[in-house]
Structure 1
Amino acid sequence: MTGDPVPDQGIWFRVESSGAASGVRRAAERLGAQLHLGARRTADLAIVAAELTSNLVKHADEGVLLLRPVRSGGEAGVEMVAVDSGPGMADLTVSSQDGHSTTGTLGIGLGAIVRQASWYDGYSRSGRGTVFVVQVWPADPPGQEWAAGLTRPLTGETRCGDGFAARVVDGRPQVLVSDGLGHGPLAAVATDAALAAFRDAPAGSPKTVVEHLHRALAHTRGAALAVAELDRPGGRLRYAGLGNISATVVDDGRRRGLVSLPGIAGHQRPVVREYDYPYGERALLVMHTDGVSDRWQLADYPGLAERSPLLTAATVLRDCGVRRDDAGVLVARAP
């Protein structure tokens, strides 16, 4: 990690030694300064980073951490997502209390994180590992996001060709997942163009938005992408997709796959169709690129579907992401 600005999609760190933990702390401090977090909150951020990485070094298997900026309105904060594959904790609530330890240490790590963080969430299962997400803001945190996700580049790459975005336009919540063709910088250029075009797209149905994105990507190598609109009052979800984007509605433990048509946005003249699906009050939308296996089952993670969308997305990426491709997951719950 150099002194360069941290990109919005963030940087992943493998945390297996105290040296790596020190690197994460220094990077977090630089990001706090980059975002003008203020001296006091940057110091709090450094404590959170140190405790998260210390827990990964001492207790975790295959620990990794994502560091990235988060923005809401005119404010910016720092987000960290700590992920490991074991041994996990039977009761994360108990483990986050000061004085609790599984290794004979003081056991103040998670308690310190909880005190310094503006917002946090966590999920753990014995034998499966732990996911912990934390945000540090300069003042009061914004409300919980209704849609959240994360991406991870192909092993050995620094740029990720997968991306996601969410917006509410004319009261209509919409989300996008994009997978730039191939991987690396040119794939990232295609997805960056898709995200920018989505944010600026005029209000319209998912089909109309996908057609707009297709035109906007003509100068790129193209992308597989999909747009969903969540209409909670109407109990419907509208969806239009091109290429290998997987989308699933999970409602009351049941999965319903959504239909994406063959094609590449930005190339040739693809057929774009919009499909309509039932969307219940407690339904959850999970979308991901082909760098994530679709063999996940939220029923295997009791209570996870009720937690924050980011926590769910990080857990799916941990257990179903593949290392031979870029990977991205978005989870949304209609606001």
Structure 2
Amino acid sequence: MGKKEKVVVGMSGGVDSSVAAWLLKEQGYEVIGVTMQIWQDEEEEILEENGGCCGLSAVEDARRVAQKLEIPHYVMNFKADFKRTVMDYFVAEYLAGRTPNPCIACNRYVKWEALLKRSLEIGADYIATGHYARIKQLENGRFSLTRSVTAAKDQTYALYNLTQEQLSHTLMPVGAYSKEEIRTIAEQIGLSVADKPDSQEICFVPDQDYAGFIERTTGEPSREGNFVQADGTILGRHKGIIHYTIGQRRGLGLPMGRRVVVTEIRPETNEVVIGEQEDVWTDSLIADRLNWMSIPELEGEREAAAKIRYNHAGTPCMIQKTGEDQVQVRFKEPVRAVTPGQAVVFYDGDYVLGGGTIIK
């Protein structure tokens, strides 16, 4: 390899990023471990308790791993980036009646955009993470994500928004392994995090009370409003639109005598629309804020498979360009609970074609 290529590994203190650092060192790279400081001061106590990829305990775990691997380790402050591009976005989307995906925003704007910029400034050739995905350069010269070897852990959905520049400077060594294999490697090389549980849910809302977090952040209580049928008939009162998402069945508190679901959120009238189970099935959606990955642009119409949420298996569809930055997606069979604010990600076999944000 001549002069060793330098790679900055984003080390969260978890087993995946720890083994990623080891794998890259074994492959001959000069490895530098970096833990991203993204927690906000006022929540340090809570985050330390809960751990996760934002927790203070992550720094200590990552430092111990770096020591064991004999690589340098630094903590870099990305608090301002994280607050602006992830937390503020999360709050604004809920207030607008949409359901955000903060992990996708964090990946694009913090873990990649901010970390890559800083890493290149210090002379690194690449950044690397412990994500379960693989990167390949295609015959057309473009870089694309391809699914990891293990479908159960595949994380390409949350990474669809990465740019060509970002992908060309990224390594994802963990994508070639299953989770069990990664834990086995960690055990064999004596890493203290071998059995550390995966971080779950949204790291900056450790109690998972999204509405409470939004109220604390804005300093304003949720504004109550009406539960209505699609035609406007009032059914009862809701606690505030930030408490609800499309397809929600639990916690509605409506004495309807049958199971009903949230079918729409109307921020302009502060109404939550209630309907029947069949009302949340649809065979089409519209998306914008597109990011194409394995192709430079969508020309006309194209067949693909689309995932409308992280744990959705994917459904065959036709994608058609309907505007400068807009597509219509027609599914071959109906899908449940298409949710504005969430991502739709398109696949051509194992390759990520691209994706966008669901409007309706």
TM-score, L = length of structure 2: 0.26
Structure exhibiting the larger radius of gyration computed from Cα positions:
2
TM-score, L = length of structure 1: 0.28
